[in-house]
Amino acid sequence: MTNNKRNEIIAILAKQEQQFISGQMLSEQLQISRTAIWKHMNELKKDGYQFESVPKKGYRLLAKPNQLNESSIKWGLDTNWLGQTIIFKEQIGSTQDLAHELARKGEKHGTVIIANRQLAGRGRMEKRWLSDDNGGIWLSMVLRPTIPPHQASQMTLFVAVTLVDTLERLTDQTIQIKWPNDLFINGKKLAGILTEMQAELEAIQYLIIGFGINVNQNINNFSEDIRHKSTSLKIVSSQEWNRTELIQFILQDFEGAYQNYLRTGFEPIKQKWLKHAYKFNDSIFIKTGQEAFYATIKGITDDGALMVCDEQKQDRVIYSAEIYW
């Protein structure tokens, strides 16, 4: 409730632009005391908001903070349902784990969990995802889609395509998608995606979409064993990026793309994926539980599996494997 009141204060002051609004008017609109308004304003100042306060005139908002927090993300976020509830943690084990915990308790569709640092970030097949710094975007969202469980595998590719659309537009970088869940720039990993679900035979109870994006890291922020294969938006563009604004654009674009996906299906996503596919028509080495072989990437199926052609010119469909690129 406290954070909601602060978000409401920011929303009211933001709408007034450069106009003052009195403490009494804020008190009446929010139905709390003027003392409570004063306390909330002081807490918002700690978050980095700048206000001008003039006796008999009231308050006006001068600037929003650069640091990442719930209030700064919600101020200016133009969505109908995605991110209307934001849970921000300065430090957490894993946003994905917290999202699961909340979803099991009935957390609503569209809730977003964001952390400044993750101590136990993880990716596909329980691989560790290095996210113990405040230079990236570490985010998970709770979705309750009306698609059948067998289509859930499409969601990782949908998220990849949606992130590429947003990040390419904002950064002017060329980004590729490495099947099934990584984004690459110049042959190095920029982002990873993790899709997990709880489902029954015919219905998805909830879907957790998580992703980590390297934004403002320098090369020294990566451990020595991954420096040669990791990158960030700052490294490739030579500039710092406002993570709050990036998150807002991502959530806004995601909401619109999600509605289009439910309406038009997977085919448009599939075609965009093919245009951005990493090492499309190139040879890769595939290792499954039963065999290992070289093959050439040819595309993806309608359920998101990888289509390849092996050295014997046999077409194969790969659902899960260790791939050496």
Domain end: 47, 63, 79, which one?
Answer: 63
146 and 163 together in one domain: yes
Judgement on whether residues 80 and 154 belong to the same structural domain of the protein: yes
Q: CATH no. for residue 46? A: 1.10.10.10
pLDDT tens string, the chain, 325 residues long: the values are 567 788 889 888 888 777 899 999 999 999 999 999 999 999 888 878 889 999 989 999 888 777 788 888 988 899 999 999 999 999 999 999 999 999 999 999 999 999 999 987 775 555 665 666 789 999 999 999 999 998 999 999 999 999 999 999 999 999 999 999 999 999 999 999 999 999 988 899 999 999 999 999 999 989 898 999 999 999 999 999 999 999 999 999 999 999 999 999 999 999 999 999 999 999 999 999 899 999 999 999 999 999 999 999 999 999 989 999 9
Residues annotated as binding site for biotin?
118, 122-124, 189
Same domain, residue pair 97 and 240:
yes
Q: Are residues 183 and 120 in the same domain?
A: yes
Q: State whether 55 and 164 are in the same domain.
A: no
Residue 185 to residue 189: CA distance in whole angstroms: 7
Whether residues 287 and 173 share a domain: the answer is: no
What CATH number has the domain bearing residue 316? 2.30.30.100
Domain shared by 104 and 251, yes or no: yes
Same domain membership, residue 133 and residue 38:
no
Number of domains, the chain: 3
Q: Are 324 and 287 in contact (CB under 8 A)?
A: yes
238 C-beta neighbours (distance < 10 Å), count: 7
pTM exceeds cut of 0.85 = no
Domain that holds residue 40: 2-63
Say yes or no: 150 and 111 in one domain. yes
For tokens 């908002």, the residue is: 61
Question: Are 128 and 189 in the same domain?
Answer: yes
Nearest in space to 236 (alpha carbons), one of 264, 215, 257, 266: 215
Q: Enumerate the known binding-site residues.
A: 118, 122-124, 189
Which of the 8 DSSP states describes residue 36? H
Q: Which residues pair with 141 in a beta bridge?
A: 112, 209
Co-location of 58 and 7 in the same domain: yes
7 shares its domain with 50: yes
